[in-house]
Amino acid sequence: MFNLILFGPPGSGKGTQSDKLVAKYGLVHLSTGNLLREEIAQKTPLGVEARSFMDKGQLVPDEVVIGMVDSYFDKHKGSKGFLFDGFPRTVAQAKALDSLLELKKTEIAAVLALEVGEEELVKRLLNRGKTSGRSDDTNEEVIRKRFSVYINETTPVAEHYKKAKKFQAIKGEGSVDEIFQAVSDAIDKKMKE
């Protein structure tokens, strides 16, 4: 299996690049943001709980997210690999993912981190908010809150993978195609190792 984590702050282009990467490499796309939004759309109890956190720019509790990832993983047994998008977002989630992969006798091949400046991120998210209907993208205060949550809770995840020598930063500003090329080059190199 080849398992990849696409890492980066809100609006850095994880979702945008993931769509292209799953088409190119045939990996299963595991986006916790998309899974949570599906639960919200279906008004499940998990969705109702998740929405109360997401609307405020906070992270959904670890146990909810980890349970969701576990069952998605089981539903896609036998795949050639996973592209984790927006997960893990806390060190507890990263440790849970390590244990899950160990149990399945596989591991993370690489963590590719998209680096984008904060003002560009705000611009992208407010822009997406005009058309996406996403309540977490329309209010600048909520967007700034998501950045502070990212700095406090998610950047330690980068350290976790730096220690394991799996972390690689990639410039996330430029055209979607330029960034896709840089990410693809990094993956191709990893696949040859």
**Active site residue ranges:** 14, 89, 128, 134, 146
Q: Which residue has the tokens 């407010």?
A: 126
CA dihedral (50, 77, 85, 37) positive or negative: negative
Where in 18-77 is the site for ligand B4P (CB under 6 A)? 32-33, 36, 53-54, 59-60, 65
For helices 14-25 and 176-192, the axis angle rounded to 10 degrees is 50
CB closer to ligand B4P out of 79 and 127: 127
**97 interacts with ligand B4P by CB under 6 A:** no
Among 3, 4, 11, 28, binds ligand B4P (CB under 6 A): 11
Which residue in 7, 82, 87, 167 binds ligand B4P (CB under 6 A)?
87
Q: Which of 97, 146, 183, 187 binds ligand B4P (CB under 6 A)?
A: 146
Q: Is 89 in the site for ligand B4P (CB under 6 A)?
A: yes
Distance between alpha carbon 96 and the CA centroid of its chain, in Å?
15
Amino acid at 3: N
Output the smallest distance, CB 188 to ligand B4P, in A: 20
Q: What is the closest distance, in whole angstroms, from the C-beta atom of residue 14 to ligand B4P in the complex?
A: 4
Q: Quick one: 11 or 83, whose CB is closer to ligand B4P? A: 11
Q: Rounded to whole angstroms, how far apart are CA atoms 40 and 34?
A: 10
Minimum CB separation of residue 54 from ligand B4P in Å reads: 4
129 binds ligand B4P (CB under 6 A): no
Phi, psi of 105 (to 5 degrees): 60, 40
Cβ–Cβ under 8 Å, residues 8 and 14? yes
49 CB burial (10 A radius; 0-12, 13-18, 19+): middle
Residues that bind ligand B4P (CB under 6 A): 8, 10-16, 32-33, 36, 53-54, 59-60, 65, 86-87, 89, 93, 124, 127-128, 136, 146, 176, 179
